[in-house]
């Protein structure tokens, strides 16, 4: 997760709220309260696929949204409210919670399986914890409280990746050995309601994610082979029933030369992995020409991770 810039008192702090991608998502059971137990490998996008949050001291609490996807929030109150709900939750844990003006620059489509609203809430918590000196309230030992109070995807977005995520989203274990991943994110502009995808699941007691090879992966091809052979997104099948356009997106990613293509989260956004950044960018351009109605972004997943050979990434 990028560092928050150091700013003088009173100035605005900013942070990225990057897209969250589930490289795999296994549903392994269900809790008594109906929430599903998951086993997932989660990575985050670079600044090409991210919302942005700014916070500044203010005379009274303010929240404003702008950016190309701002209109999506008008039709999805739950996503918009996550920022202010996160603010109010952290304030309730803090002694020095002065009023703030929060600005959300919305670039990620809502209800799209890449954690947009959760990413916004996560970035809001990081920024306000810094401003209010309330870091202890969002520490690693607070993941369960954050998930229960605000949403199952939010603790992982506070933490940043790469992560193995279990429980309903509160068990977070950093993952070593994953390379930076040139990727293409594609959404067919059909929203999927997460509860609908979970409700349509046929099988809820599935196998967990297998152990990763000792020493990690030699290159992206090795990771893509391992993901394809032994891991899944168990929500893909129910989401594809709800939104058949997901199949079109997966087909387009495979035709564009992706090493592998899969849906993220509860959909409908899918990702394709590429050997180089240039391949991902070229594929994005070609696909955008053919499907101007789709949301398409080339990015690097897990970009903070040192890359063994930057030249291989087309950098
Ligand atoms: O926690 P969050 O608000 O993100 O979850 C939205 C809905 O998705 C839940 O009400 C539940 O129906 C479903 N869900 C689930 N198991 C999870 C995460 C979400 O069943 N681990």
Ligand 1 centroid – CA 86 distance (Å): 17
Among residues 15, 20, 51, 105, the one annotated as catalytic is: 20
Please give the residue that has the higher pLDDT: either 9 or 134: 134
Ligand 1 centroid – CA 83 distance (Å): 17
Please give the residue that has the higher pLDDT: either 4 or 183: 183
Does residue 255 share a domain with residue 116? no
Does residue 254 share a domain with residue 129? no
Tell me the residue ranges of DSSP E strands in 114-251: 163-167, 171-174, 181-187
What is the share, in percent, of the chain residues with pLDDT greater than 70?
A: 91
Is 88 assigned a catalytic role?
Answer: no
Residues 60-78 have pLDDT tens digits of 999 999 999 998 887 665 5
Does residue 150 share a domain with residue 76? yes
**For the CA of 34, the nearest atom of ligand 1:** 20
Query: CB of 300 within 8 A of CB of 277?
Result: yes
Query: CB of 91 within 8 A of CB of 137?
Result: no
Q: What is the mean pLDDT of residues 35-60?
A: 97
Ligand 1 pocket at CB < 6 A = 35-36, 38, 151-153, 168-169, 194-195, 198
**For the CA of 36, the nearest atom of ligand 1:** 16
**For the CA of 37, the nearest atom of ligand 1:** 21
Does residue 197 share a domain with residue 165? no
Distances (CA, A) of 314 to 8, 18, 97, 165: 37, 22, 45, 30
117 in a known ligand binding site: yes
Residue 314: per-residue pLDDT = 42
Among residues 48, 120, 153, 234, the one annotated as catalytic is: 153
Please give the residue that has the higher pLDDT: either 8 or 219: 219
User: The domain spanning residue 270 has which CATH number?
Assistant: 3.30.70.890
Residue 236: per-residue pLDDT = 98
114 in a known ligand binding site: yes
Banded pLDDT at 7 (limits 50, 70, 90): very low
Domain that holds residue 78: 13-174
Helix H or strand E segment including 47: none
State how many domains the chain has: 2
Q: Is the pLDDT of residue 310 over 50?
A: no
109 in a known ligand binding site: yes
Query: What interhelical angle do 116-131 and 77-93 show, nearest 10?
Result: 30
Does residue 168 share a domain with residue 188? no
Banded pLDDT at 114 (limits 50, 70, 90): very high
Does residue 247 share a domain with residue 158? no
Residue 9: per-residue pLDDT = 52
307 in a known ligand binding site: no
Banded pLDDT at 10 (limits 50, 70, 90): low
Does residue 132 share a domain with residue 27? yes
Looking at residue 235, the DSSP 8-state letter turns out to be T
Q: Is the pLDDT of residue 3 over 80?
A: no
Global pTM exceeds 0.80? yes
Residue 247: per-residue pLDDT = 98
Q: Look at residue 87 and tell me if it is in a domain.
A: yes
Ligand 1 centroid – CA 174 distance (Å): 22
**For the CA of 199, the nearest atom of ligand 1:** 12
Is 247 assigned a catalytic role?
Answer: no
Q: What is the mean pLDDT of residues 306-312?
A: 39
Does residue 164 share a domain with residue 263? no
How high is the ipTM of this complex? 0.96
């Amino acid at each position: 997760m990028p560092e928050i810039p150091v700013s003088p008192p009173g100035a605005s702090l900013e942070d990225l709220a990057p897209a969250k991608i589930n490289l795999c998502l296994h549903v392994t059971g269900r809790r008594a309260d109906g929430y599903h137990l998951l086993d997932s490998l989660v990575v985050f996008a670079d600044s090409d696929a991210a919302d942005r949050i700014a916070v500044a001291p203010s005379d009274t609490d303010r929240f404003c949204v702008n950016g190309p996807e701002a209109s999506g929030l008008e039709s999805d109150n739950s996503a918009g409210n996550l920022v202010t709900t996160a603010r109010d939750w952290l304030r309730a844990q803090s002694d020095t919670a002065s009023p703030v003006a929060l600005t959300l620059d919305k670039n990620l489509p809502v209800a799209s399986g890449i954690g947009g609203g959760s990413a916004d809430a996560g970035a809001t918590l990081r920024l306000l914890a810094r401003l209010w000196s309330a870091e202890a309230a969002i520490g690693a030992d607070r993941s369960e409280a954050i998930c229960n109070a605000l949403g199952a995807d939010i603790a992982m977005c506070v933490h940043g990746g790469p992560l193995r995520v279990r429980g309903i989203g509160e068990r977070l274990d950093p993952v070593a050995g994953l390379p930076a991943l040139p990727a293409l994110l594609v959404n067919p502009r059909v929203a999927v309601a997460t509860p609908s995808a979970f409700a349509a699941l046929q099988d809820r007691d599935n196998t967990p994610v297998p152990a990763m090879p000792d020493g990690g992966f030699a290159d992206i091809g090795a990771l893509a082979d391992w993901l394809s052979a032994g891991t899944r997104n168990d929500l893909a099948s129910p989401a594809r029933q709800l939104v058949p356009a997901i199949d079109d997106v997966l087909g387009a990613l495979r035709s564009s030369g992706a090493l592998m293509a899969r849906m993220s989260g509860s959909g409908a956004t899918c990702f394709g992995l590429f050997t180089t950044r240039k391949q991902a960018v070229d594929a994005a351009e070609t696909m955008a020409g053919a499907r101007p109605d789709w949301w398409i972004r080339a990015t690097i997943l897990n970009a903070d991770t040192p890359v063994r050979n930057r030249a291989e990434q087309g950098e």
